[in-house]
Amino acid sequence: MKKTIIVLTGSFILAASAFAQAPDWNRTLGRIDEMGDFENGDFSAEITLVSQKPGEDDTVIQARYFRRDRDDKFVIVMLKPDVQRGQGYLSIGDDLWFYDPESRKFAFSSLKDSFQDSDAQNSDFSSSSLREDYSVESYADGKLGGADIWAAVLVAKDKGVAVPKRKLWIRKDNLLVMKEEHYSLSGRLMRTIAIPKYQSVSGKFVPASMLIVDAIKVGERTQITFASPSVEKLPDSVFTKTYLERVNQ
Amino acid sequence: MVWKIAVRNLLQHKAKTVIIGTLVTIGIMLTLVGNSVIDSIISMISRSFIRNYTADILVTSSETMGAGVFGAQSDDMMGPPVVPLLKDYGRVLPLVRGLPGVASFTSQLSAYAMINLEAKGMDYGLFFGIDPADYFRTMDGARIVDGMGRRLEPGEDGIMLHRTVWKRIRDQRGVELKPGDPVQLNSFGNVGFKIREVPLVGVFEFDSANDRMFVPSFADVRTLRYLGGRHGGISEKVEVDASATAYLDASADAGIDSLFGNGSAQAAPAPALRTAPAADPFAILGKPGGRTAVPETEGSWNFVLIRMKEGADPGPAIESLNAAFDDLGLRARAQGWQMSASPDSFTYAGVQLLFNAFIVILACVSIIIIMNTLVASVMERTAEIGTMRALGAGKKLVFGMFVAETSVITAVFGALGIALGWAIVSLLGAAGIPTDNDALRFLGGGGILKPAVSTGPLVVSFILMAFIGLVSWVFPVLMALKVSPLRAITTE
């Protein structure tokens, strides 16, 4: 535990000194990606997603989330509510399938689609690839919640990316992304995401909870909480369609 | 005596009589032709809506206002329309069976679903869930496109795509679906994401129908029930601890930035966690069969559609059904095609209102022109009126003379206008107006419009004629009555 804290502190100091001046954005985006990338192992957690829509009861979904960043794959299996139990997602690269255990059918979907009719997108569960997908258009110094930040505007290098333009509030001292705004191709604000707290898992950082606010549908908001994180190696077969069928048998 | 003088005056001032008369003729003729065409369009629209979508009477849930076959506007402006379930369907049915004048009836579900074309994308569409056994007997507007399959058979799973949807998929997605091809339907309902794969049985089009944004396709009712998650009211509340909603609660009023507070401790990583052992990925759902089965409610329907016997007025039947629903406390409402075809039907009502406004404006303009011409005529006839007054003609005689003149003009030229209008409408009816251009197709096209003179437009024309006859003389007559014998003698 002590060793981990020393290593983490060391890495923050290193990061802070390296990026104290005008940032080298290619390096900075790469570093942000690395901080959340479990490139040498697997990651799993339990997700709780609570969605609020005006005039409706809160929607709660609990699911198990498995991620293998080195192969750009993730799997999500619904645990609750009961009527959705066993429904699941499999994402491999840019492809995503949804599985309905009742009809035993897969539906091809897109990372750009909303996750379970919430304010989250399927792509929110992919690993970060900011350096590969974006270039920094502009940035400014600022403060958010007392912390010194860079507010950087990123534009996608490729039209296929789920979010064409995003603005990140990046803490200068540890490079954690505190807040994001996602924009459409036409420049319209679509969503705002706040990540007030991260959890460190084996030297990597994943949000403890995040809040997503829909900018188009006023009053719609979603909180996602990641609990019971694990980096234990998962069987290869988890990241297959067969797994989603088998887990329901 | 007055009528004689009036006719003589009209013949003496032929030019003015012809000018005023022509205006009256044109006004009445336009009113009759325009109203007849609009009336025919409305009649064509009502026929196509009744045959294709709504029947003569639609029984829907009374729990959602304005719920027609296309659904009611959702609270979420960007969300799909709301289609309420007819919860008292089982108790509604005996009342429908016992209704006098009913030719046939059927039940229907309406739902919006996605046609998943895998890598080619998705198409979003409206589906009517039907039981082919009685649906096509009641709703007879759909016909299969030549060489494109057949109708759904009773008990068969499958879909019939509307030609517009089929063509859109072909043109925009590059997928040319053929009868027999499997089609995957997806839907996100109250039981999550649902998938159903069914064969395309046929491609159809309506004999005549307006081009609405969401043209309906047909699916067997089991498929639509499955996609819509008609699960008989199962509602499970998932309990979560306070931390799962902490940000939602904290930012509700204060805004998203309030989550960061003022301290730089925010957004910092928590100390490294001792990671939990991974749950066995193959045992996360517990025992086999742990998932609650989603029972299909066999009797779940959104609507009952009723066709009346030829010539039977649906009005009294609607009243009688609604009275029975109220007496029995049923959550159901019977309504005619216009309510059931909303919001589309409101557009047509708007068009008719616009045309009627145009007719009123035309009538006002006609009256003003006729009045001006009559006033000019009075001015010219000052000497004549003065002389008549000097010779002992009372105000009553002068008044009567002008009223008689206007009445004769209106009656003669109005009748001419009606005759001409009738002839034009008959010619249009014989020739037929193709409604294939975009504007007319939107209104109810796809067929040939054959206008005919009906009671409504005829009554409107007579009313307009009487209105012109009664109103246009008022000001000129008042002017005529002010002419004094002295002024008449001194006027050259």
- B79: tokens are 């969300």
Inter-chain CB proximity B197 and A103 less than 8 Å: yes
pLDDT of residue B469: 72
Residue range B52-97, pLDDT digits in tens: 889 999 999 998 776 787 877 666 556 667 788 888 998 999 999 9
Q: Which residues in chain B are closer than 8 Å to A230, comparing Cβ atoms?
A: 275-279
What is the distance between the alpha carbons of residues B340 and B317, in angstroms, rounded to a whole number?
Answer: 15
> Same domain for B208 and B152?
yes
Say if residue A16's pLDDT is above 80: no
Is residue B71 situated within a structural domain?
yes
Q: Which residues in chain A are closer than 8 Å to B245, comparing Cβ atoms?
A: 50, 58, 223
Q: Which residues in chain B are closer than 8 Å to A247, comparing Cβ atoms?
A: 281-282, 284-285
Contacts of B303 (CB under 8 A, 6+ apart): B58, B59, B60, B69, B86, B107, B108, B109, B110
Inter-chain CB proximity B285 and A80 less than 8 Å: no
pLDDT of residue B361: 83
Assess B247–A contact: CB distance below 8 Å, yes or no: yes
Q: Which of A80, A92, A108 to mutate to test the interface with B (most CBs of B within 10 A)?
A: A108
Residue range A179-217, pLDDT digits in tens: 999 999 999 999 999 999 999 988 899 999 999 999 988
Inter-chain CB proximity B269 and A203 less than 8 Å: no
Specify whether the CB–CB gap between B141 and B209 falls below 8 A. yes
Pick A4's closest partner by Cβ from B236, B256, B272: B272
Write down the ipTM of this complex: 0.85
Q: Which residues in chain A are closer than 8 Å to B277, comparing Cβ atoms?
A: 230, 232
pLDDT of residue B397: 81
> Same domain for B229 and B360?
no
Say if residue A168's pLDDT is above 50: yes
Q: Which residues in chain A are closer than 8 Å to B76, comparing Cβ atoms?
A: 53, 217
Q: Shortest CA distance to B308 belongs to which of B333, B337, B346?
A: B337
Q: Please tell me the least confidently modeled range out of A7-16, A140-149, B16-25, B270-279.
A: A7-16
> Same domain for B62 and B40?
no
Assess B76–A contact: CB distance below 8 Å, yes or no: yes
Specify whether the CB–CB gap between B108 and B89 falls below 8 A. no
Specify whether the CB–CB gap between A199 and A208 falls below 8 A. yes
Domain count, chain B: 2
List, as ranges, residues 93-122 from B with C-beta within 8 Å of A.
116, 118-119
Strand-pair partners of A155: A135, A165
pLDDT of residue B277: 58
> Same domain for B65 and B96?
yes
Residue range A28-84, pLDDT digits in tens: 999 999 999 998 889 999 999 999 988 778 889 999 999 999 999 999 999 988 888
> Same domain for B432 and B456?
yes
Inter-chain CB proximity A145 and B267 less than 8 Å: yes
Helices (H), B332-343: 337-340
Boundaries of domain holding B94 = 57-233+297-335
> Same domain for B218 and B364?
no
pLDDT of residue B69: 79
CATH of residue A186's domain is 2.50.20.10
- B212: tokens are 């609405």
Pick A107's closest partner by Cβ from B186, B264, B272: B186
Residues of chain B with pLDDT under 50: 231-234, 264-267, 289-290, 294-297
pLDDT of residue B7: 83
Specify whether the CB–CB gap between B31 and B457 falls below 8 A. yes
pLDDT of residue B23: 80
Q: Which chain A residue's Cα is nearest to B259? A: A196
Q: Per-residue DSSP letters for B194-248? A: EEEEEEEEEEEEESS----SS-EEEEEHHHHHHHHT--TT---PPP--GGGGHHH
Residue type, B13: H
Boundaries of domain holding A37 = 2-246
> Same domain for B96 and B174?
yes
